[in-house]
Structure 1
Amino acid sequence: MSWLTRVRERLPFGNKRESPDNLWIKCPRCQEMVFRTEYEENLNVCPRCDHHGRIGADKRLSQIMDGDDFELLPAPQVSEDPLRFKDTKRYSDRLKAARASNPHNDAFTAAFGTIEGNPAVVGVQDFTFMGGSMGMAVGDAFCNAAQRAIDENCGFVCVTAAGGARMQEGILSLMQMPRATVMTRRLREAGLPYIVVLTDPTTGGVTASYAMLGDVQIAEPDALIGFAGQRVIQETIREQLPEGFQRAEYLHKHGMVDMVVARKDLRETLAQLLDYLTPAKAA
């Protein structure tokens, strides 16, 4: 036994306490270290710089809807890997990996419940599931959620977060764009509000369809919203794009979204809109 070990044993200090690996979280914007509990209590918003972090479907539903007694709509059953697609991995393997780390079967989860007493169907796109990409399952889930809103005679709130259409399903994924568009038209014909909450990021075919067809367009602060990427646009038009291009505040300034709402105010804002826009007979 070395002298150093003998001295350490006689010192009145205990062993170094182990701290959990997930005790802190690093804000991707300001790079500050924040207590995870503080971060989560602040609705996954950085208390230092107000950066709105990405969250999953379950957490989003619990933040928006009343209590935990909302009804999750059944996940649609669709043909998986219809094209037998394979790039560096098989599509079926990518689906298995995504489901292993996610509580839901695909990227779109919907629920029926209330928002401050106002009946509503809320659909949430989860970016952690294959980038929130829109495939047949997402298209079916969106259409089923819209139909449930029509059946319940209530508003439909859609929270988007996506990288676009799911390339592994080819033209079948692109077909979900007109399908979803038809359902937004049916909601309008029924006189029911369709409210979209654009979160970071909302891009590609989702932006080109149901994400921009709401009666009211809400965006979270600094959310990336667009169709093609900024680099692609710059190379196409051969011009330098303005600072903040495709961010929520820029789109609000130029009339593309109706309001930018902080996450802490989102539930109250949605409740006010539903109360005002939903027909009285649905109350």
Structure 2
Amino acid sequence: MKTLVSLLAAAALLAGCATNTPEPAPQVRHDATRSITKIELVYNAQDQLSVMDGGGSAIVGWAGVFGPVGTLVALGVEVGTRVTMASRIERRSKEFTAAVKNSGAMPLNRQFAEQLAARLRTSGREVKLTPAARVDGELARMQVPGFQSTPGYSTLIVRVTTTYGAPDMTSSFRPFVAIEQSLRDEQQAVLHQTTHTSDLEEPAYLAYDGLLQDTAKAQDGLRQGLFRIVQPAYAGMFGEDAPSGLLGVDYPERRVASRRNVTGPLVVVRPPF
């Protein structure tokens, strides 16, 4: 644990000091990515659904970089002796993930990967889907254990983060999702990377028990958040060429945000709660 705490502290320092690397003009960047016709889409296959409350500070945003467990450690660094809070978040995240899994619904990560693959195919590209374990750490330097790229294919690594969060113990839990993607050429050199987030007003749950007992609707809230990112994720990587109204979304949205960078600094996914 001490090692991970030190790593988190160092990463936070680096993130605070980092400056954005200038990226090429969108047309130049998209000209390069549009030339890619065969893509292997690698995504984290297992859903890891986080449930957080009382983490209203920026350090909770390390969920996208270090995963749910790393986030709990980061939260423990910040709150000091409030170990009970970290334990509660860990327990609830495991319970909620298990409840959704036991419902028999298709994993959210797989649904998103298939939607993004379908969008890529509508542009005339050949797409190969490859499920893998979640890899935490800086997106540009991620290495998927045991992954061997398919000859002739560029690689699109997609990391999915799904969370229900509340800024404090008296606020409602609401869905937040993040998609981080890194496009690499056949030699695995990073061509471009983007981060897209979406947080919604609904469904909202005043208590954790309500969230746990309503897994179908709660999962659908996360699914809607993910699906509304499909087109921004495509356009951010390959440019705007999509028909409008690709996907219908039922839930009111609070925000969809995107961040793009080429090879540069650590991109931190920060939930708004």
Which TM-score band (shorter chain)?
A: 0.3 to 0.5
Larger strand fraction of residues: 2
State TM-score, norm by structure 2: 0.33
State TM-score, norm by structure 1: 0.32
Q: Which has the higher contact order (CA 8 A, sep 6+)?
A: 2
